[in-house]
Amino acid sequence: MRPTAFALVACCLLTACVTPPIPYNWTGYSSSLYALKKNPTDETLAAHKQVLIQIIQDSDGKSMKVPPGIYAEYGYILVKEGKAEEGMKYLDLESQKFPEATVFVQRIKTQLSQSASDAAKPSDNSGSTPEPGSAEKEKTP
């Protein structure tokens, strides 16, 4: 992580914005996510989850802040693992800490509950919510 920090600082100097950075706690995030993407197994997923919860637990909100998206990502994984109640808590935390995430969190919840009910009834996942690309047709006058 230190080279990244250095790079950021150096680039900030380059553009003359010498201000203390926002103390987001990204400890371990990009490496564990990278490992997960490179080799998606139960172990790499568990390791990435561990990084997420560690970020949440270690951040006191002052000297270390939970970065945008971490609560949502953790909650999303939990719900997908079937821990719906606990996952929803983290999803709600995301929109509490970052009100601009409200629509997004609502969308996640809708999608997750949809896939839950899709899983309950066997195979019918056609024509539910339109994807952003195709939905244009409805709206374009």
Query: Which stretch in 12-20, 54-62, 82-90 sits in contact with other proteins by CB under 8 A?
Result: 12-20
**What residue type is 63 in one-letter code?**
S
Binding mask 77-96 for other proteins (x = CB under 8 A): --------------------
Does 133 sit near other proteins (CB under 8 A)?
A: yes
Does 44 sit near other proteins (CB under 8 A)?
A: no
- Classify 98 as helix, strand or coil: coil
The residue from 14, 42, 62, 63 that contacts other proteins (CB under 8 A) is: 14
Treating both helix axes as pointing N-terminal to C-terminal, what angle do 84-97 and 70-80 enclose, rounded to 10 degrees?
160
Whose Cβ is closer to other proteins: residue 57's or residue 102's?
Answer: 102
Give me the helices (H) in the chain, please. Answer: 2-14, 29-38, 42-58, 70-80, 84-97, 102-120, 136-139
Residue 1: burial class (beta carbons within 10 Å; 0-12, 13-18, 19+): exposed
| Residues engaged in binding other proteins (CB under 8 A) | 3-4, 6-8, 10-12, 14-17, 19-22, 24, 26, 29-30, 33-34, 37-38, 67-70, 72-73, 76, 98, 100-104, 107-108, 111, 115, 129-136, 139-140
